[in-house]
Amino acid sequence: MRILYHLPLSPYARKVRLVLAEKRLPFELRVEKTWERRPDYLAMNPAGTVPTLTEDNGLVIPHSNTICEYLDEAYPDICLVGRTLGERVEIRSVAAWFDERFAQEVSRNLLYEKVMKQASRRGAPDAARLREGYAALRTHLAYIGWLAETRKWLAGANLSLADFAAAAHLSALDFIGDIDWSIAPAAKEWYARMKSRPSFRALLADRVSGIAPPPHYADLDF
Amino acid sequence: MRILYHLPLSPYARKVRLVLAEKRLPFELRVEKTWERRPDYLAMNPAGTVPTLTEDNGLVIPHSNTICEYLDEAYPDICLVGRTLGERVEIRSVAAWFDERFAQEVSRNLLYEKVMKQASRRGAPDAARLREGYAALRTHLAYIGWLAETRKWLAGANLSLADFAAAAHLSALDFIGDIDWSIAPAAKEWYARMKSRPSFRALLADRVSGIAPPPHYADLDF
Ligand SMILES: N[C@@H](CCC(=O)N[C@@H](CS)C(=O)NCC(=O)O)C(=O)O
Ligand SMILES: N[C@@H](CCC(=O)N[C@@H](CS)C(=O)NCC(=O)O)C(=O)O
């Protein structure tokens, strides 16, 4: 069985879960407590991060981007990285924007401070970082809204990896109650479309011990 | 004319310069002082980072990975991301290792502290970060040596993007005199092979105002 090593609130693992579900590829989830730095896991992924995917044929694939590029090449029926060169550039650029800028300015400051630090017993959240994260989140929500209003999906006319990268980060933040959707109607409209896709169901059913998501988290009509 | 916006010591821009030269694609270099946050540049690359590549047909491609994937798709004669699914996974994983882990543990601590901070007038290097960077560099050089001894090139039997990603980071550090090659003979042997490729010549001829590279920097027989 295909196995995805993950943490429930890792945006990178969530992106891969969405892509796997969108491509209707069955897989089993295994939680990897990255902070334990398990030698068997480090042998598969020397960076020690989640996600890592293993295929039945023995292929071990660390890193969410490497996994997503692999899945689009190995299972091309449902294409998520675009068809023309121009589409592929735009999709990869927008996806990288979320996986690097959004991650660094928002997810790093909120998710890491509130969840990862706690889970790995590295102390209490840093208030300055939380403030920075919330401020950046406002700007990013406005940018997502602007993208969603000027094109059908975030990277163009088709649903793509860029939408899943963005939705993965937002869904993790929404789980911890950090998104005030009332300030970003255009981003909310796009996120509602994402949330209602069958591929999103498993994410909305996630349970994490010690954290209760807000009531709107799993509500398609939030 | 194809234009690459860059900074001479940016490892990400160096990787793209190597890939362009390896594929024998002519291009013009333009220095982009990222800290000036020029609006015309931000319109091309909202993250404001270098590199960004522009093609004659108007295509604007921000982000070194997006550029390298694009170049391998648009100009496939000399293939640098591998042919089989397994090769492609290994090449992308090793390249990501350098562009993320090596970057964070070494380049961020040495290049950023010693060069970028100075250039953008953000203060003096932080001694603790330099110490951390030098310690991590030793470990990474040993890892590169191990890779180079167990396979022909860093990600397998063929020269690939992984070699250029690694060589780009090392060449920038070598320019500022931060690499003691005597401690890492296997890494040195691999780097000597990289350095003697014609695609490397332009990097070895780089001049940066205010920084004189050590004599061995451009020496193929160092
Ligand atoms: N660029 C990597 C990043 C993965 C990553 O940073 N994962 C985090 C969780 S969201 C992690 O595993 N952190 C634990 C660690 O860095 O040790 C990817 O896309 O897979
Ligand atoms: N992941 C990006 C990173 C590029 C990057 O961080 N470039 C640095 C120079 S090495 C930069 O432009 N820094 C300026 C800034 O962050 O404003 C890529 O691969 O292109």
DSSP structure string for A1-35: --EEEE-TT-HHHHHHHHHHHHTT---EEEE--GG
**Test mutation, A57, A66, A147, chain B, max B CBs within 10 A:** A66
pLDDT tops 90 at residue A34: yes
Element (H, E) at A40: helix A39-44
Domain ranges (residues) in chain B: 85-197
Beta bridge partners of A208: A211
pLDDT tops 90 at residue A13: yes
pLDDT tops 90 at residue A48: yes
Beta bridge partners of B30: B5
A197: alpha, beta or left? (left if phi > 0; alpha if psi -120 to 50): beta
Render pLDDT for A152-161 as a digit per residue (tens, 0 to 9). Answer: 999 999 999 9
Please tell me the predicted confidence (pLDDT) of residue B130. 97
Asked if B47 has any chain A CB less than 8 Å from its own CB, the reply is yes
Please tell me the predicted confidence (pLDDT) of residue B118. 83
Structure tokens at B120: 């953008």
A88 and B101 within 8 Å at the Cβ level: the answer is: no
Element (H, E) at A53: strand A52-54
Please tell me the predicted confidence (pLDDT) of residue B38. 98
End-to-end CA distance of chain B: 35
Please tell me the predicted confidence (pLDDT) of residue A209. 85
Sign of the torsion angle spanned by Cα atoms B111, B109, B116, B54: positive
What ipTM did this prediction achieve? 0.96
Q: Residue A206, SS3?
A: coil
State the 10-residue block means of pLDDT for chain B, 222 residues long: 97 98 98 97 97 98 98 98 98 98 97 89 92 98 97 97 98 97 96 98 92 94 90
Picking from B66, B73, B93, the nearest residue to A63 by CB comes out as B93
Q: State which of B5, B6, B12 you would mutate to test the pocket of ligand 2, scoring each by most atoms of that ligand within 8 A of its C-beta.
A: B12
Q: State yes or no: cis peptide before B39, omega within 30 of 0.
A: no
Check pocket membership of A213 for ligand 1, CB cut-off 6 A: no
3-state secondary structure chain B: CCEEEECCCCHHHHHHHHHHHHCCCCCEEEECCHHHCCHHHHHHCCCCCCCEEECCCCCEEECHHHHHHHHHHHCCCCCCCCCCHHHHHHHHHHHHHHHHHHHHHHHHHHHHHHHHHHHCCCCCCCHHHHHHHHHHHHHHHHHHHHHHHHCCECCECCCCHHHHHHHHHHHHHHHCCCCCHHHCHHHHHHHHHHHCCHHHHHHHCCCECCECCCHHHHCCCC
Q: How far apart are CA B35 and CA A201, in angstroms?
A: 43
B116: alpha, beta or left? (left if phi > 0; alpha if psi -120 to 50): alpha
Q: State which of B10, B36, B49 you would mutate to test the pocket of ligand 2, scoring each by most atoms of that ligand within 8 A of its C-beta.
A: B49
Render pLDDT for A104-127 as a digit per residue (tens, 0 to 9). Answer: 999 999 999 999 888 888 889 999
Structure tokens at B147: 């890779």
Residues 55-94 of B with CB under 8 A from A: 59, 61-63, 65-66, 69-70, 73-74, 85-86, 88-89, 92-93
Structure tokens at B33: 């002082």
Confidence class of residue A99 from pLDDT cuts 50, 70 and 90?
very high
Q: Give this prediction's pTM.
A: 0.97
pLDDT tops 90 at residue A210: no
Q: What CATH architecture does domain A85-197 belong to?
A: Up-down Bundle (1.20)
What one-character DSSP code corresponds to residue A182? Answer: G
Give the distance (Å) from ligand 2 centre to CA of residue B149: 31
| Percent residues over pLDDT 70 in chain A | 100
| Percent residues over pLDDT 90 in chain A | 94
Please tell me the predicted confidence (pLDDT) of residue B210. 86
Q: How far apart are CA B7 and CA A50, in angstroms?
A: 32
Residues 6+ apart with CB under 8 A from B176: B9, B110, B111, B114, B115, B211, B213
Q: What angle do CA B79, B80, B86 make, to 5 degrees?
A: 95
Please tell me the predicted confidence (pLDDT) of residue A108. 95
